[in-house]
Every structure is written in structure tokens, then in C-alpha cells.
Amino acid sequence: MSLLSTGVSFAAAGGMALTEFGMALTPGPNMIYLVSRSIGQGRAAGMISLAGTGLGFVVYMVMANLGLAVVFVVVPWLYLGFKAAGVAYLAWMAWQALRPGGRGAFESEELRHDSRSHLFRMGLFTNLLNPKTAIIYLALIPQFIDPGAGNTTVQGFTLGAIQILVGLLVNGAIIIGAGSIAEFLATRPSWVVWQRRITGTMLGLVAILLAREVSERARI
């Protein structure tokens, strides 16, 4: 059974939703930026930043469905370069969390109060440079597309819309709860340390896995 007339099955839609739910809960550039803004400048600033993040998802969805994946196949070094940049970014974020004196995603920090336009732009650019987003649109979503079930472009946009909806809902909930979580951690220093170590370790593991994939593709 397909979702309306898009060709996307309910199983594929559910699989995409669950996959995005898990990825959205995994600490990464988007979460760290949105949380820091919510804690440092208030929930409204976090939501404005989230709007920019949402536009970043839309940009990826449009590019992927209009042939960006084909470009990366034709010019493989471009794809490898893009992923290598993402690996370096994740490794840097992991180091920032794990280094002595580093900070976790939910630790309070004094930030300057940026304008709404700047918050929106930073949310957009953070997502455009987020390797997790690239992975979703270039590697994960194609796994849920069935060429024999209908127009693949329509399926791509439908699955992308599901990903964006779930991603925005999860990140919105994180923004709303960030202040409460930060207050909880502020009274429990040992929890802050473990939260930072777990976040940094997860980012580091993702960076290592992506680096291995880049290395393997480079040898092909």
C-alpha cells in the first residue's frame, strides 16, 4: 500500500521517519548549535535558528532530487572531498568536547545576542555543512525509494518532506527542553562531564566511520 499517490509505501515512510528520529537524537552540529542558542539567547533564538536549519534541509532535498547525486557519481572526487570536509568538522567538534576544559552541548555559555537574520543564516549554514544531512539525502533516502512503485522524484520529495517534518519536531522539542536540561546539569557537575564525554565519543565514532568509508572509496 502506498502513501496517497506518491508511490511511497507506508513501510518506507515509517522507516524513513524512524531513521531520521534516531539521527536527530544523535549529537551533531545542528543539535549543538541549536542548543547553544536556546540556552544562551532564549528559546525564540533557538526556533529562529531552527527555521534556518529547516531551509537547509529543503536545499538538500531539492538538490538531491534534481540530480546532485548524479553529479557526485560522475565526479567522485567531489563527493569524497565533501565527505572528507565533513569528517574533519566532526573530528574538530569531538575534540572540542573531549579536550581538557571542553564544553558539552547542554553547558551554559555566554554568547553574544545575534540578530534574527544572523541566527537564521547560521542555522542554514550549519545544516548545509552538516555531514549527517548529506548522508541522509545521498545515502539513506535512496534506500527507501522503489523505482517500480512510481516516479522516483516524487518519492524523493515525499521522503524528504517526512525527514524534514520529523527533524524539525525533534529539534524543536530539544530547543524547548534545552534550558531545563542545562539547569539540571548545572547542579550536577559529574553529569556534565559524562554528558560531554558521551557526546564527544559519539561524534568521534561517526567521524572515524566516515573516514574509513572515504578511505575505502578513495582506493576504488
Q: Which of 128, 135, 158, 134 is nearest to 146 (CA)?
A: 158
Does the pLDDT at position 171 exceed 70?
A: yes
Q: Read off the pLDDT of each residue in 194-198 and give the average, rounded to a whole number.
A: 69
Does the pLDDT at position 162 exceed 90?
A: yes
User: What span, in angstroms and rounded, lies between the C-alpha atoms of 63 and 69?
Assistant: 8
Q: Phi first, then psi: what are they for 146, rounded to 5°? A: -110, 105
Higher pLDDT, 85 or 40: 40
Q: Read off the pLDDT of each residue in 124-130 and give the average, rounded to a whole number.
A: 88
CA separation, residue 142 to residues 65, 164, 196 (Å) = 10, 15, 33
Does the pLDDT at position 37 exceed 70?
A: yes
What is the predicted pLDDT for the residue at 82? 61
Q: Which long-range contacts (CB under 8 A, 24 or more apart) does 143-148 make?
A: 144/8, 144/12, 144/15, 144/16, 145/12, 146/7, 146/9, 146/12
Does the pLDDT at position 2 exceed 60?
A: no
What is the predicted pLDDT for the residue at 51? 96
Q: Phi first, then psi: what are they for 2, rounded to 5°? A: -100, 160
Higher pLDDT, 43 or 99: 43
DSSP 8-state secondary structure symbol assigned to residue 64: I
| pLDDT confidence bin for 98, thresholds 50/70/90 | confident
Mean residue pLDDT across the chain = 78
CA 26 to chain centre: 8
